[in-house]
Amino acid sequence: MELTNTINRKKSASLFEEAKQYFPGGVNSPVRAFKSVSGPPLFIKEGNGCRFIDEDDNTYIDFCCSWGPLILGHNNPQVRDFVIETVKKGTSFGTPTKLGNQLGKLILDNNRYIEKMRFVSSGTEAVMSAIRLARGFTGKSKIIKFDGCYHGHVDSLLVKAGSGLATFGVSTSAGIPEVFAKETIVLPLNDQAALDKTLAEYADDIAAIIIEPVPANNGLLLQEKSFLECLRLKCHKYGVLLIFDEVISGFRVGLEGAAGYYDIQPDIITYGKIIGGGMPVGAYAASAEIMAHIAPDGPVYQAGTLSANPVAMAAGYAAIQQVTQEGFYEKMQAKTETFVAQIQNYCDAKGYEVNIVTIGSIFWIAFSKDTIRAADQIDAKSMELFKVLHHELLQKGVYLGPSGYEVGFVSAAHSAADLEEAARLINESMDVVFRK
Ligand SMILES: *Cc1c(COP(=O)(O)O)cnc(C)c1O
């Protein structure tokens, strides 16, 4: 279906044409280009609370929240004020700062699963460093990842399962040497048998298993707790490190992330997104014993010119302080559940084939009634329905991430009234999606 009514995006459209002269595809991160939906991407000029405004002066209730970091909504006053206060004293010194200590202490004091951490500047960097640490710690080189989990644009993780009987991965991007991809084994999620078989055969070469414990980059593929527990058990048994990539789930499904949600102790945890309060911050963390392998204490080298710069630390500190408030996550989950139920009940009453998957303040609209726990269960054709929904919602003033594989995020700034309004607009749009 061709969706051409983009009349309210004239300025965005012309800025996008200009941007194409400067940036590949007009963007600085590929999904922003709206390739899987329709029309030009929105150019946003301002955000406040749960809403943002584009260059054409349209206002949207935003459920992308900068792809997850903005758990407090746009332009959170405490974050903004602390950033301004800090930036007046300079942006970066290339030395340790007290603010770094403060954010480190706040995080470690509130998380039973980690003892020491290192700040970096993105989720990708956190994952890349965690993999190196696991290899340095174990002296082994192969890693296992799961189909449907995204871990940033790390060479050895832009890999999918080889076809047929091939055990080792093939890269999903040009520019990745085959020998790198071969160091990665890709398995289906939620499949203990495939895991058993692979570990039995290759455990002596495997440094780590990396998983998004709440896989939220390819739909929301919630795992059975027993599968995550099995990972923990098998990793112990075979001397393999378990890495939880909590770049999305960290500080999102609870203060202790998915580790706390499922009460499973991974060996290394990676963070990003929320940890920086909207500034570029990532981190990896583990026991003191494992982290002792990082330079300058140990032989695994990892460094960063702007790591833990005070402005980013200030944003992170002001944000994390707010999510540590008593009852914060319970409230977030309760209002997300109410919101999701308003849509689910409507779709059920109308007989629309929709299932909204949710955990904490994350939700994903699946156009299928099946319980989906693995990437290959998602029907690619259903993305055509998402495209119509997305387009319709842009006309009505609701912004979802521009792909049906992306999850939505509710922030603390979405009030009950905002969510009710959004649910009504989503329901009206569902009528268009299913009118056909
Ligand atoms: C977003 C994300 C990353 C990559 O983080 P960037 O800051 O975009 O580099 C890695 N892992 C997971 C689970 C993510 O969601």
**Residue 168 pLDDT level (bands cut at 50, 70, 90):** confident
Active site (annotated) includes residue 273: yes
pLDDT at 38: 81
**pLDDT, tens digit (0-9, with 9 covering 90-100), for 372-396:** 999 999 999 999 999 999 999 999 9
Q: Tell me, what's the pLDDT at 6?
A: 67
Mean pLDDT of 136-157: 96
pLDDT confidence of residue 344: 98
Q: What is the DSSP letter of 422?
A: H
How far is Cα 163 from Cα 379, in angstroms, rounded to an integer?
Answer: 20
pLDDT band at 167 (very low <50, low <70, confident <90, very high): confident
Give the pLDDT mean for 276-298.
98
Catalytic site includes residue 150: yes
Q: Work out the average pLDDT over 286-294.
A: 98
Mutate to test the pocket of ligand 1, among 70, 124, 125, 131 (most ligand atoms within 8 A of CB): 124
> pLDDT tens digit string along 300-311?
999 999 999 999
User: Would you state the pLDDT for residue 387?
Assistant: 96
Ligand 1 centre distance from Cα of residue 171 (Å):
18
**Average pLDDT, rounded, for the chain:** 96
What is d(CA 202, CA 219) in angstroms, rounded to the nearest whole number? 30
Task: Report all structural domains of the chain as residue ranges with CATH numbers, in order of start.
Answer: 10-75+328-433 (3.90.1150.10), 77-323 (3.40.640.10)
Q: How far is CA 279 from CA 126, 282, 404, in A?
A: 15, 10, 26
| Ligand 1 atom nearest residue 149's Cα | 13
pLDDT score recorded for residue 163 = 72
Residue 349 Cα to ligand 1 middle (Å): 37
DSSP sequence for 318-334: HHHHHHTSTTHHHHHHH
What pLDDT is attached to residue 280?
98
| pLDDT in the model for residue 436 | 63
Quote the ligand 1 centre to 28 CA distance (angstroms).
15
Q: Which of 245, 262, 267, 405 is catalytic?
A: 245
pLDDT at 165 over 70: no
Q: Supply the pLDDT for residue 358.
A: 98
User: Is residue 2 over pLDDT 60?
Assistant: no
Task: Evaluate whether 210 touches 156 at the Cβ level (below 8 Å).
Answer: no
Residues 6+ apart with CB under 8 A from 152: 122, 123, 124, 125, 126, 127, 128, 247, 272
How many other β-carbons are positioned within 10 Å of the β-carbon of residue 371?
11
More confident residue, 258 or 436: 258
Q: Is there a catalytic annotation at residue 10?
A: no
Residue range 249-262: average pLDDT?
98
**Cβ distance 235 to 209 under 8 Å?**
yes
Answer yes or no: is the C-beta of 127 below 6 A from any ligand 1 atom.
yes
Q: Is the CB of 169 under 6 A from ligand 1?
A: no
Which tokens is 229 given? 């527990």
Distance (Å, rounded) from C-alpha 99 to C-alpha 222?
35
Mean pLDDT of 314-327: 98
Confidence of residue 265 (pLDDT cuts 50, 70, 90): very high
Atom index in ligand 1 nearest the CA of residue 125 equals 9
Please state, in angstroms and rounded to a whole number, the distance separating the CA atoms of residues 93 and 80. 21
Residue tagged active-site, from 142, 145, 182, 273:
273
Q: Name the pTM for this structure.
A: 0.97
Determine the straight-line distance between the first and last CA of the chain, rounded to whole angstroms: 11
Determine how many CB atoms are found less than 10 A away from the CB of residue 11: 17
Q: What pLDDT does 78 receive?
A: 98
Instruction: Look at residue 4 in the predicted model and tell me its pLDDT.
Output: 57
Convert the pLDDT of each residue in 41-100 to its tens digit. Answer: 999 999 999 999 999 999 999 999 999 999 999 999 999 999 999 999 999 999 999 999
The SS3 of residue 119 is strand
Q: What spacing in Å lies between the alpha carbon of 151 and ligand 1's midpoint?
A: 6
Whether the per-residue pLDDT at 1 is higher than 60: the answer is no
**C-beta of 123 in contact with ligand 1 (< 6 A):** yes
